Amino acid sequence: MPVHNIKPVYDENSKILILGSFPSVKSREQQFFYGHKQNRFWKVLAAVMEDALPETIEEKKAFLLRHHIAVWDVIESCTITGSSDSSIRDVVVNDLSCILQSADISHIYANGGKSYELYLKYTYPVTKREIIKLPSTSPANAGYSLERLVQEWRNNIIH
């Protein structure tokens, strides 16, 4: 059973928290979030924040902290086939208290339907913190062009 091997990115100045479901195979290999070259997360965030596209892991961490964004995933470990959210079962969730107790998080966002669904099922009963669902930046979300994703994220993210 794969275990989440990527530490959350946040600091005491983080204001928003973006949660994915569980890292893809590529992200687990690279030891950082949204590592698949087809995932549009970094392109979308760079456009929304009107900043340069971060390339390296260090640039991505600096980008997130500069924009007061925390990133993690709802799931700590699960049974999953490849990177398919639809195959997720046997869920063990991450404890978000390390972020929520040390940063003044004003808004929590789900990157896609699966993280939203899992948060509501497992995490909301503990945190009692609302979450806003954003369309997934995954390449599997082919119904959304990059432009449409940027517009939806821009319309919903408070920064």
Residue range(s) defining the domain that contains residue 135: 16-156
Which of the residue ranges 25-29, 96-100, 116-120, 146-150 would you say has the lowest mean pLDDT?
25-29
Domain contains 40: yes
User: Contact, 82 vs 25, CB < 8 A?
Assistant: yes
Counting residues of the chain whose pLDDT is more than 70, the rounded percentage is 97
User: Cα separation of 13 and 6, whole Å?
Assistant: 20
- Confirm whether 2 is domain-assigned: no
Number of domains, the chain: 1
Please report whether residue 1 resides in a domain.
Answer: no
Q: Which CATH number fits the domain that encloses residue 58?
A: 3.40.470.10
Residue 139 near residue 83 (C-beta atoms within 8 A): no
Within 112-159, strands assigned E span 132-134
- What are the tens digits of pLDDT across the range 130-156? 999 999 999 889 899 999 999 999 999
Strand 16-20 to 107-111 pairing: parallel
Mean pLDDT across 91-118? 95
| pLDDT, tens digit (0-9, with 9 covering 90-100), for 21-67 | 888 888 888 889 998 888 999 999 999 999 999 999 999 999 999 99
| Catalytic sites, residue numbers | 39
